[in-house]
Structure 1
Amino acid sequence: MDESQDMQTLLELTNNWHGGEVGRTELVSALRGVSDDSGELIRTLITRLGQGAPRAGDGEEHPENTDAWRQELMACRARTWPYPHSAGLLVGPHVLILTDGEQGVLLRTGQLRVLTPSVSASLLLLCQTIVMAQHSLDGKVVGQARTQRIESASTSLSEIDPIK
């Protein structure tokens, strides 16, 4: 599948999710499946989604307070696409956020808002921080498992009686 077909698929999935025709899991799976070297595809998707959409802060907003947004962001999972076409995806309990650091969109079932550049930059940094922390945690867990394996192997080997 070429990039234009990928773009069309992602746009259709997003529109179908807004219309309630497909589940959020299907859209998130498609976004997660975009390869690491396809950040430009995500950047283009953000631009296409944002065309004609209201800006966050314009018109009616959800009556959430700062604590509700903090909880939403703290519960997010993240995916990033690296430089030179950096982009990020935050998947929260109620929202999906796509950002490239310059532009971004906040998606809810039936609603899409364009984010300001400053918020987009902060959210890309948050995506990158979450991913780096996860990689660090994964590395620490792997290191601990390796150490445990080495220690258990050396202990069990030392318990073997030599043949005389």
Structure 2
Amino acid sequence: MKTNFIKLTEPTSNIVEVFNRWENDPALIPLTRPNQNQSEMERREEMSLEDLIKRIEEHHIYLIYLNDQLIGEMNYVVDPNYLYKKEPGTAWIGITIGQSEGRGKGIGYLAIQYMEEQIKKQGLKRIELGVFEFNKQAQKLYQKLGYKEIGRIEKFTYWQGKMWTDIRMEKYL
């Protein structure tokens, strides 16, 4: 099993197609984006190549490959307005393992460690993230990597007929 990470600098229509597939995968939607109700969960979101080109102006995006197959992406943005703790020099991170064959193999752990190193190289000292309260697997991963809970935003996202909390976590590098 060979895992590698490549910074996305030149988006292609093939990458956009894969990202759109993951963004609209019913199994991933509740894990990757907040929704206010069932109809929001069912809406399709389509990114264009131009959208992705614009996104990399602010976000540092890394592609995750397993044996030369694109299986996920991770990204960070610096000091976004949705930080729970408004501390300058903070990277907000996100990760999606879009292909099922990439899940449960420790790839998320390796990927976040890699991204933390990239964030450190940028001179940033703090990382913040949000994880939905029902996503126990991700919570365990972040705790294992040293992230600590700093707050909760109640009734943040809808899933399985009810509203759930967003747990905000941080790590100092």
Give the TM-score band, short-chain normalised: under 0.3
What is the TM-score normalised by the length of structure 1? 0.26
Compare relative contact order (CA 8 Å, sep 6+) and give the higher one, 1 or 2.
2
TM-score by length of 2: 0.25
Larger radius of gyration: 1
Structure having the higher strand fraction is: 2
